Amino acid sequence: MRYSDRHLDGDRISVFGQALIGVTHASGGLVNIATSTGGATNDFSALVGAGVDINVTQRFAIRALEVDYYLTTVPNGVNGDQSNLRASVGVVLRF
């Protein structure tokens, strides 16, 4: 699910927030084999984040910043979850 608001600075700036939930598949060296069946596992994952786009045209924008918190519950031999923070910048092409 994503929510965005384009009413800042006369539609030039778009602010958005997003939340995704699903299942992560991991295998091989990424999984503690003692706690999974066959060296592979399917576990819960979630991503929550927000960002800011600077609209150049209707179909092109510059992503000034996007920050996401990414959680997975893949068994790793130490604990049952991995918490990651991701920050990115880039370009947006709208089709």
Q: Where are the domains of the chain?
A: 2-93
> Which band of pLDDT confidence, cut at 50, 70 and 90, is reported for residue 54?
very high
Asked if 75 and 81 touch (Cβ cutoff 8 Å), the reply is no
Give the pLDDT confidence score for residue 34 in this predicted structure: 57
- Of residues 79, 43, 83, 87, the one with CA closest to residue 63: 87
Q: Is a pLDDT exceeding 90 seen at residue 88?
A: yes
Residue 7 confidence (pLDDT): 63
DSSP assignment of 25-79:
EEEGGGS-GGGSBTTEEEEEEEEEEEEEEEESSSSEEEEEEEEEEEEE----SS-
Q: pTM for the whole thing?
A: 0.75
91 pLDDT higher than 70: yes
Query: Do 38 and 60 touch, CB atoms closer than 8 A?
Result: no
pLDDT score at 16: 93
pLDDT tens per residue across span 2-52:
887 766 666 789 899 999 999 988 887 767 655 555 677 888 999 999 999
CA 27 from chain centre, in angstroms, equals: 20
**Token duo for residue 71:** 């959680």
